[in-house]
Amino acid sequence: MKKDYYEILGVPRQSALPEIKKAYRSLALKFHPDRVPEGEKKEAEEKFKEISEAYGVLSDPQKRSLYDQYGHAGIDRNYTADDIFKGADFSSIFGEAGLGDVFSQFFGDAAFDIFGGSSSGQRGSRKRHQRGRDIQYEVDVSLEEAFTGIKKKIQIPRNEYCTHCQGSGAKAGSHMKTCSTCGGRGQVMMASGFFRMAQTCSACGGQGQIITEYCPECHGKGYLRVTRNIDVGIPPGVDNSSRLRVRGEGEIGSGGAGDLFLYIHVLDHETFKRDGNDIYMPLEVSFIKAALGAEMSVPTLNGQVSMKIPAGTQSGKVFRLKGKGMPDVHMGAQGDQYVTIMLQVPTKLSPEQRELLEKFAEISGEDVTPMAKSLKEKIKKVFK
């Protein structure tokens, strides 16, 4: 027994056409057999057929009216399986090129002829001017460079459109012959059960024509490999999660240039640690300064600043230097710098220093020589 078409698309019976279109588009992209794992393809194919049939009826006012009055019986009496999809406006959902072109964005040059309604054959019959591919490149910057921002010159190897042959790969003035495999269409049809799939012709690479004489510059490839020096501006506040887009600096194609995407890698710093826009650092302070209090010079990414150490400061105490952190890459607001106090204990003492410290310990009531006193007590007991 067939499922209810409204239930299949997950929409209420009173839904307007835009809502039905939206639901179908979402489900079509989700259940297309070429977007699911291999073991789920058969189930996805059945589901895709089911939702497409539901949309074919509910998107047509006349078919929908019959279905609303008589259910599936009203459709089965008046339409064949092929008739269900006639008049269904697939192009208004997926753009003027139809469903086939939408899936070609996901699966490269393969286009899908759903129910015989794709325009892929027409598309393959003309030469396509393609935009060049985007390029990804990783850029290392120091923490100081990330703080201030910097202009860098980087070398990018990329493919560029061959101007000698206008990207055709053929020698100027030579003739090209029609591809016998696809008949000049640039695509061949492959049947697979419910679907007919138009794939790029492997013999001509989708051009519909075969080169008879190769371009002496690019040797038939249609592009040249070059290395370009590109100046890029890296704004203040970038982090390891930052991605910068430089328009038009990707590979060059007959339909224009792609973009260059820079992925930022901020190098570790020997003193500072970064967490978001905040900076953390340890500061060694002598126990004398910690006890008596002092004014200390503290390094920041923007130079030295003076920081007050109050008398009696303990090891591990954290002080905040407001606005001394990293700038926010989007809003420009500054983070803070956090300074953790680490008490510095001298490793060597002069006799005078030791004497003064022992005197201090005695005044403070601290027993700093427990082992020596214990030994004296034992000697006294022996000679009693």
pLDDT tens per residue across span 35-92 = 777 778 788 888 888 888 888 889 888 888 888 888 887 777 766 665 666 656 655 5
pLDDT tens for residues 241-260?
A: 899 999 989 888 767 788 99
C-alpha atoms less than 13 angstroms from C-alpha of 184 in its C-beta half-sphere: 4
Residue 273, pLDDT > 90, answer yes
In sign, the C-alpha dihedral spanning 77, 81, 83, 88 is: positive
* pLDDT at residue 328 in the model: 93
Cα-trace Rg, the chain: 37
Which pLDDT score is estimated for 263?
93
In which region does residue 47 sit, left (phi positive, over 0), alpha (psi from -120 to 50) or beta (all else)? alpha
Query: CATH number for the 135-266 domain, one of 2.60.40.10, 3.30.1330.120, 3.40.50.300, 2.10.230.10?
Result: 2.10.230.10
Is 1:15 a contact under the CB 8 Å cutoff? no
What token pair was written down for 240? 């390891």
pLDDT of residue 334: 92
Which residue is it, tokens 């899936």? 103
Residue 187 CA from chain centroid, whole number: 32
Task: Give the confidence band of 101 by pLDDT, cuts at 50, 70, 90.
Answer: very low
pLDDT at 221: 83
35 in Cβ contact with 29 (< 8 Å)? yes
Q: Residue 100 corresponds to which tokens in the numbers above?
A: 């086939």
Query: Which tops the pLDDT comparison, 289 or 42?
Result: 289
Q: What is the pTM of this model?
A: 0.55
Domains 5-89 and 273-344 share a fold: no
The H or E element spanning position 88 is none
106 falls in which pLDDT band (50, 70, 90)? very low
pLDDT over 90 at 270, yes or no: yes
CA distances from 95 to 102, 126, 135, 281 (A): 8, 19, 27, 55
Other beta carbons less than 10 A from residue 300's beta carbon: 18
Model confidence over 113-127: pLDDT tens digits? 444 444 334 444 444
Which whole-number Å values give the CA distances from 284 to 1, 278, 305, 310, 317, in the listed order?
Answer: 79, 20, 15, 14, 11
Q: What is the pLDDT of residue 113?
A: 42
Q: Answer whether residue 360 shows pLDDT above 80.
A: yes
Provide the pairing of β-strand 337-344 with 278-286: parallel
Report percent pLDDT > 90 for the chain: 35
- Cα(90)–Cα(120) distance, rounded to whole angstroms? 14
- Please name the amino acid found at residue 88: A
What ranges make up the beta strands (E) of 52-164?
111-113, 135-141, 150-161
SS3 of 180, please?
Answer: coil
- CATH of 5-89, picked from 3.40.50.10480, 3.40.50.10540, 3.30.300.30, 1.10.287.110, is 1.10.287.110
Distances (CA, A) of 291 to 27, 185, 253, 313, 365: 70, 87, 70, 6, 17
Query: Which residues make Cβ contacts (< 8 Å) with residue 251, sequence separation at least 6?
Result: 132, 133, 134, 135, 158, 159, 160, 223, 257, 258
C-alpha span between 181 and 170 (Å, rounded): 19
Domain boundaries in the chain? Answer: 5-89, 135-266, 273-344, 354-382
Looking at residue 152, its pLDDT comes to: 92
Q: For tokens 């959902």, what's the residue?
A: 93
**Tokens for 375?**
């030994």
Which top CATH class is 273-344?
Answer: mainly beta
pLDDT at 361 over 50: yes
Q: What is the rounded average pLDDT of the residues 5-18? A: 91
Please tell me the distance from the alpha carbon of residue 164 to that of residue 172, in angstroms, as a whole number. Answer: 7
Per-residue pLDDT tens over the stretch 317-328: 999 999 999 999
Q: Are 264 and 244 in contact (CB under 8 A)?
A: yes
